[in-house]
Structure 1
Amino acid sequence: MSTNPRGPNAIDRHVGSRVRLRRQLLNMSQEKLGEELGVTFQQVQKYERGANRIGAGRLWTLARVLDVPVSFFYEGVSETLNQPGFAEGDQTPIIDDFIQSADGVQLAQAFARIRDSKVRRRILELVRTLAAEEAEAQAAESEQA
């Protein structure tokens, strides 16, 4: 089965994820962005998922509405394409998943406001401890199964 050459590809999905990231950073709803663009929130959802391609004119309007240069939408695209030369174990997918979640954006915003490096290290250690405990619990569950 061949892929549709006219359908969305990894770059479309990357651009859409950058639209979503910026919209969330601005605390803007899909409805509000849709109003600004003259489209429905469902269309915004399709753009953000990469299900629909964003044309050049619409991308220009998005950049203006979201107050970023057009190049913002392409930042990190080479990592998304997983081009040869990137190290195995690249953390880009983990970071992308984190930033694309509403919780991840809120956590990153809150963490960035903490200026005390000791407090930041304690938070990091707390998160590592919680993650390790969850991993141990999951391992124990799979052993019992």
Structure 2
Amino acid sequence: MPLKPESQRHPVDMAVGARIRLTRKARGVSQQALAEAVGLTFQQIQKYERGANRVSASKLAEIAAFLQVSVSELFGTDAAASGLTDELADLLGAPGALELLKTYGRLPRAQQSALVGFLGTLPTPR
């Protein structure tokens, strides 16, 4: 079954999925490990994380328990308290983003500045 285009996905489903992805990655948990823990396939976790499928309340509770966060944090009601915003979740959910940030954090300040300067010179897609 083909995925719904992003424009037809509900923004809440996409935001919840992005928070699941960000929390899972921050905890160093693979999609496979999360899927096994909550009785799903990794493909279903992928669909949740993209917002292509809605997460039922019971599965959201299981996912939150496994990731050791509150359901409200994954749903977004604790977003302000946790410092997690939809924009940040989207950015950090991009492939390689969290790994890039972790590597950046391990660099000396001078190299961080040089890297930011270099990235600023790269052309951005329109």
Q: Which amino acid aligns with 1:51?
A: A
Task: Write the mapping of 1:116-131 to structure 2, written as runs, cut at 5 A.
Answer: 119-120=108-109, 122-131=110-119
For the pair 1:48 / 2:36, whether they are aligned, the reply is no
SS in 1 for 2:69: coil
Q: Return the alpha-carbon distance in structure 1 between the equivalents of residues 96 and 21 of structure 2.
A: 13
Q: After the TM superposition, which residues 97-108 of structure 1 pair with which residues of structure 2 at under 5 Å, given as runs?
A: 97-108=90-101
Give the match for residue 132 of structure 1: 120
CA distance in 2, matches of 1:39, 1:61: 11
Does the 8 Å CA contact 1:24/1:102 hold for their aligned counterparts? no
- Percent identical among aligned pairs is 33
Q: How does 1:1-145 map to 2 (within 5 A)?
A: 8-73=9-74, 74=76, 75=79, 80=86, 92=87, 95-112=88-105, 119-120=108-109, 122-135=110-123
1:3 is matched with none
2 CA distance for matches of 1:109 and 1:68? 21
Which residues of structure 1 form unaligned runs of 5+?
Answer: 1-6, 81-91, 139-145
Q: Greater Rg, structure 1 or structure 2?
A: 1
Question: What displacement does 1:8 show?
Answer: 4.1
Q: Is the contact made by 1:47 and 1:53 (CA closer than 8 Å) also made in structure 2? A: yes
Distance 2:90 2:98 in 1: 10
Equivalenced residue count is 110
Give the TM-score, by structure 1 length.
0.64
TM-score normalized by the length of structure 2: 0.73
Alpha-carbon distance in structure 1 between the residues aligned to 2:38 and 2:55: 12
Tell me the C-alpha RMSD between the 2 structures. 2.3
CA contact (8 A) 1:8 1:53 kept: no
Give the AA of the match of 2:93: Q
Using the TM superposition, give the Cα deviation of residue 124 of structure 1 relative to its aligned residue in structure 2, in angstroms.
3.7
